[in-house]
Amino acid sequence: GDIIPPKSDCSQDRYADVYNMFIQNSLLPVLVLPGDDDWIQCDLPDVAWRRWAQFFVQPPLEGTWWAVSSVPEEVERQDGRKENFAFRHDGVLFLGLNAPARSLESSIPQEQWDRLHDENVNWVHSQLQGSFGNIDLSRTGGILGN
């Protein structure tokens, strides 16, 4: 995350520049999570979010590496939260979560934060259960710790 400099204008060109940098310079798949500077701290967070998603989720960035890696075939995106991803590689579960810290100056309503957190917890739980069977999340610490 935080591919956009803090307090920047969050213009579409900035997202496009980072996307093109990844496409042109990386030989391996790149998976990007949004940071608070990428949308929350922008003047228009809803517009910034759509711009971020346009370049890194729809279509997924990892799809550009299908010819050079098997990782894109292994990536699973969460329904309703396509920025979140999971994949298993060599027996290791990798999870990517959009879990930015809530700042006092954020214009994002508390209900939206609560929904984001709940959806992240459900995603982690489903991925862990799919990988390891029945898990009691009440006995795990710091999975989404802020």
Model confidence at 135, in pLDDT bands (50, 70, 90)? low
Task: Read off the pLDDT of residues 16-56 as tens digits, 9 standing for 90 and up.
Answer: 999 999 888 888 788 889 988 888 888 888 899 999 999 99
For residue 140, pLDDT over 80 is answered with: no
Tell me what the mean pLDDT of segment 59-67 comes to: 78
Report the chain's mean pLDDT, rounded to a whole number: 82
Give the residue-averaged pLDDT of 127-132: 82
Contacts of 28 (CB under 8 A, 6+ apart): 65, 68, 69, 71
From residue 80, give the alpha-carbon distance in Å to each of 7, 16, 53, 71.
28, 23, 12, 22
What's the rounded mean pLDDT across residues 81-87?
92
Distance between CA atoms of residues 46 and 128, nearest Å: 31
> pLDDT at residue 106 above 60?
yes
